[in-house]
Amino acid sequence: MRTILFALKRLVLSILTFGLLIQIYFFLKIASLNWINPESTSFERQEFVRLAQLPKRMTWAQVWVDESQISTQLKRAVITSEDDLFATHNGVQWAQIQKAWKKDQMAWNSSAKAKGGNTRPPKIAGASTITQQLAKNLFLNGERTLLRKAQEFIITLELEALLSKPRILEIYLNHVEWGQGIFGAEAAARHYFGVSAKNLSALQAARLAVMLPRPKYFEKLPASSYLASRSEEIAERMMGAKLP
């Protein structure tokens, strides 16, 4: 019995030590982002592998540009569309998380009843801030589990504690996906409008911002009526966006 307890204690200690080492790694990696521009993100590497396996020729576009070379119009548009409280929150909009949780529970309960009462817990989805999206893209995968979401929250709080808001936005805009193999504001601006990121017009910036939740989908539907109408709405509202 003592041998079993001793082995169990060693296992728990090993798991805790491993978890601590992972958190130290994330902490140091995030702190280094104050001086080092990330060459790629976890999501980009996963996409690179996926695209490399496709039968057709892979295209890839990404160019890092400094924050000063990204249009203020785009910053305002993205904040308006994706995270209107970005400049003031601590990385997580808890009220929105609670609403998303309740929405997912209701959706799952309805689905479970239709399928005979499956008891699998609901996914935690939606309500992600810009900082949370960056945390996920930089270090994590696309799984929607409690453990992955908990790690996302920890990384989000570390990003907010160790980096300035402008720096968080700069990294986000340089690595966010804007289509298949298209990453970052500069690549997106050149791909869709033939201009640099600093020369985007208000409507062009709004259109890119609206694409963000489903970039691959909207890339294939440039004439989407929703994309056009939503872009006009964001363009009208974005001058009221608070920049960090």
182-188 long-range Cβ contacts below 8 angstroms, 24+ apart: 182/61, 182/62, 182/215, 182/219, 183/44, 183/61, 183/62, 184/62, 184/63, 184/64, 184/65, 185/65, 185/70, 185/71, 185/74, 186/62, 186/63, 186/64, 186/65, 186/69, 186/70, 187/61, 187/62, 187/63
Q: How far apart are CA 215 and CA 222, in angstroms?
A: 11
| Tens digits of residue pLDDT in 75-94 | 999 999 999 999 999 888 76
Radius of gyration of the chain (CA): 20
Q: How far apart are CA 13 and CA 9, in angstroms?
A: 6
| Tens digits of residue pLDDT in 185-244 | 999 999 999 999 999 999 999 999 999 989 999 999 988 999 999 999 999 999 999 998
